[in-house]
Structure 1
Amino acid sequence: MKHPLPARPVHIGVLRLSALGDVCNLVPTVRALQRQWPEARITWIIGKGEHSLLAGLSGVEFVVYDKTTGLAGMRALWRRLADTRFDVLLHMQQALRASVLSLGLKADVRVGYDKARAKDAQHWFTHRQLAPHPRAHVLESFLDFARLLGVEDLSLAWDLPIPDAAREEAAALTGEAPYLLMSPCANPRLRNYRNWSAEGYAAVIEHAWVQHGLTTVLTGGGSTQEREMGSRIQALGQPGAVIDAIGNTSLKGLLALIARARAVVAPDSGPVHMANALATPVVGLYATTNLDRAGPYCWRDYVVNRYPDAVREFLHEDPATIAWGQRVRHPDAMSLIRADDVIACLEAVLAASPTRKETESPDEA
């Protein structure tokens, strides 16, 4: 017998810890739940860094879990929520750690992914599973949770909060002049292979500078890999064409920079989804991950997509029949992207959005 779903939930729990791009893609589902049940209480259990990005999201109570604290952190979170019971818990993290964490949470019904999309046997930890949705984008997979609960209006809305301090942080770096934002590196994880070349980035920077008078702001974390990439890009470029902000912004400051940028250029990483959430034009660079599953949702027509070529060349498989979400873990995959391809997409996205106002909200763009 299936566990019944609440017709009008009073308290909704959302369990999604990471990552930055994924939590951005989840926000429209939260907004859809809020529109359907404006009086419902929503508690989102989220990772530490992801919380710093979304802090202040209207109508949401955040409970932060720092994954570096391990079991001790789980126990602390369970104690904090010992007196809390959810009408429904939306288990939206496909990872064993999150499933173990969910065991200490009280809920009348736990909803998770269908077997085809569940990872680490997540369906063993839930009462109800989503209806199958083959070849779904990550954002659509999140919306499937709202669909299952009977939410009718699934229109996209974000309204990410950017505090004045973050806008001031961004303005101190850029002044009032228009700029291109470039985040050259994805998360430096083992066998990630999502980064393009310094030479390619430098060619795009020169084009933006010469043809459009756009300075390029480089952003990213403070890792050695990211700082070295920034230094190589700068060494290849013209003096004055680059502002190096790598390792020098908060996540809210990065949001503010993205909100004011004429466009964003980045590989599959958090900034492409932040830009998507803020209605900032974005050129994504995709070869190791599937654009149709994980591209910037509203800007997929402007992605440089070499994933099918990489699947054929490095996996020797047919892109039409390969497992959905299969990554191409080869260090040469991103070399299939050419500077001319990126420049062409940049020209197209600039033409599609010729002007941007700092005060323009994502849902008005």
Structure 2
Amino acid sequence: MSDDSSPSPAPASLCLLRTSAIGDVTHVVPLVRTLQAAWPQARLTWIVGKLERRLVGDLPGVEFVTFDKGRGLAGMRETWAALRGRRFDALLQMQVALRSNLLSLGIRARRRIGYDRARSKDLHGLAVNERIPARTGEHVLDAIGSFCEPLGLKQTQVRWDIPIPEEARAWAAERLAGDAPVLLVSPTSSHALRNWRPERYAAVMDHAAARGWRVALVGGPSPGERAMADAVLAACRRAPLDLTGKDTLKRLLAMLARAQLLLTPDSGPMHMANAVGTKVLGLHAASNPHRSGPYSDRRWCVDKYDAASRKFLGRPASEIPWGTKIEYPGVMDLVGVDEAIERFEAFAGAGMRDEG
């Protein structure tokens, strides 16, 4: 897997720092698989967020150290205490936020690998002594995957295989029983300006239900997600199954594995679905689907990112910096119901035949 004819010496220990969010943590899993395949004896320690650990914390062969960002400096001290006396061959500092850069300063490592200068911010350069190759036009998963390149590896395969407990599979099977194809709808992003209007979700859900699909609404227990779910339900003519706030991350993963399609804006569940091989009808205007959309297959997404760039920034997407967020009020109104239904119908035809 090395680019060089002589393989790099195997490190004894590596520390991975990517604490959040759900989607980005999902993108780290293929890197873990790459490192494990190349150096099965290397000890991998992953510093991860409290919530995110519930999704990936049972990956085999990885030591997890939880960082509870809600505890502020106390949370940092707890993480440092858990690593006291340890020195790693390399730290992969895969998060540029100021909090993560400060957290990384308490981790001892001979090599400290971070982002290239163009992708650095919040004093990231002070926390690292090596950088990944400078590239533009990359998907976030590929950027994270490139953290193995300074170590002499190349991520040539992308594999997740995130464990799903039998309890979670049984829970999902009970709620999504039957032979009808399943459309899951996860309507809420952690960035409110990426969210679509409730009545537009409802229109697509009613259309799918009329076509014989089983439709289920999913989401977390937060007040914002509950409010969005209630607004969507109020606009639906055909009542979907409402599972909002009733699952866990593992149960959601199991539901996604049983579904044929997920309808969602740019969100963590989008990347969870992709990780289990489920197709995604992603709604993109505020963010670039080629950077942060479903990694494996973006055919079923609605892409209004260029239209958003022209409307809100006054120039085409090809002329703005890669990864620019266009999070303006009303930006998601550029995504029409008819466009989402067209992608649904395209998947229900050609897409499902491809799956078969």
Q: TM-score range by the shorter chain?
A: over 0.9
Q: What's the CA shift for 1:328?
A: 1.2
Worse-matched range after superposition: 178-187 or 146-155: 146-155
What is residue 188 of structure 2 aligned with on the other side?
185
**Residue 234 of structure 1 aligns to which amino acid in structure 2?**
L
Q: How does 1:86-125 map to 2 (within 5 A)?
A: 86-125=88-127
Normalising by structure 1, we get a TM-score of 0.91
| Distance in 2 between residues matched to 1:291 and 1:271, nearest whole Å | 14
Alignment correspondent of 1:309: 307
Identity %: 44
Distance in 2 separating the partners of 1:115 and 1:41? 29
Cross-structure match for 1:225: 224
Residue 38 of structure 1 aligns with which residue?
40
SS of 1:116's partner is helix
Question: 1:149 corresponds to which residue?
Answer: 151
Local SS of the residue matching 2:250: helix
- Residue pair 1:29, 1:154 contacting (<8 A) in 2 also: no
Offset at residue 356 of structure 1 (A): 6.7
2: CA distance between counterparts of 1:152 and 1:334?
Answer: 37
Question: Aligned with 1:108: secondary structure?
Answer: strand
> Secondary structure at 1:25's aligned position in 2?
helix
Alpha-carbon distance, 1:355 to partner = 8.1
Instruction: Report whether the alignment pairs 1:18 with 2:16.
Output: no
Match of residue 234 from structure 2: 235
1:198 maps onto 2:201 in alignment? no
State the superposition RMSD in angstroms.
1.8
Which blocks of at least 5 consecutive residues in structure 1 are unaligned?
A: 358-365
Structure 1 residue 283, shift from structure 2 partner: 0.9
Query: Could you tell me which amino acid in structure 1 is paired with residue 12 of structure 2?
Result: V
Aligned-pair distance for 1:35? 0.9
One-letter amino acid matched to 1:194: R
Equivalent in the alignment of 1:291: 289
Q: Deviations over 1:270-310 (max 9, x none)?
A: 01100111110111100001112111111222210111101
| CA deviation profile, 1:20-59 (whole Å, cap 9, x unmatched) | 0001111111111111111111110000010001121122
User: Structure 2 vs 1, CA of residues 153 and 329 (structure 1 numbering), >3 Å: closer, same or farther?
Assistant: closer
User: Given that residues 47 and 67 in structure 2 are in contact (C-alpha distance below 8 angstroms), is that contact kept between their aligned partners in structure 1?
Assistant: yes
Alpha-carbon distance in 2 for matches of 1:72, 1:227: 31
TM superposition shift of 1:136 = 1.5
**Count of equivalent residues:** 348
| Distance in 2 (alpha carbons) for counterparts of 1:15 and 1:160 | 18
Contact 1:282–1:349 (Cα < 8 Å) also in 2: no
Residue 108 of structure 1 deviates from its aligned partner by: 1.1
SS at match of 2:146: helix
Secondary structure in structure 1 of the residue aligned to 2:117: coil
Whole-Å Cα distance in 2 between the matches of residues 6 and 147 of structure 1? 11
Residues 348 and 38 of structure 1, relative CA distance in 2, 3 Å threshold: farther
Match of 1:341 in 2: 339
The 5 Å alignment of 1:53-64 reads: 53-64=55-66
Contact 1:143 1:154 in 2 (8 A): no
Q: Deviations over 1:117-139 (max 9, x none)?
A: 11212122101011111122101
- For 1:356 and 1:326, the matched residues in 2 are separated by 33
CA shift, 1:77, in A, is: 1.3
Write the distance in 1 (CA, Å) between the matches of 2:278 and 2:352: 9
* 8 Å Cα contact 2:15/2:47 also seen in 1: yes
- Is this contact kept in 1: 2:283–2:335, CA < 8 A? yes
Structure 1 residue ranges (4+ consecutive) displaced by more than 3 angstroms after TM superposition: 353-357
State the shift of 1:325 in Å: 1.5
**Structure 1 Cα separation of the partners of residues 155 and 100 of structure 2:** 28
The one-letter code of the counterpart of 2:257 is: A
Structure 2: distance between partners of 1:349 and 1:281:
9
Partner of 2:207: 207
In the alignment, structure 1 residue 163 sits paired with structure 2 residue 159: no
TM-superposed deviation, 1:170: 1.8
Shifted more, 7-16 versus 162-171: the winner is 162-171
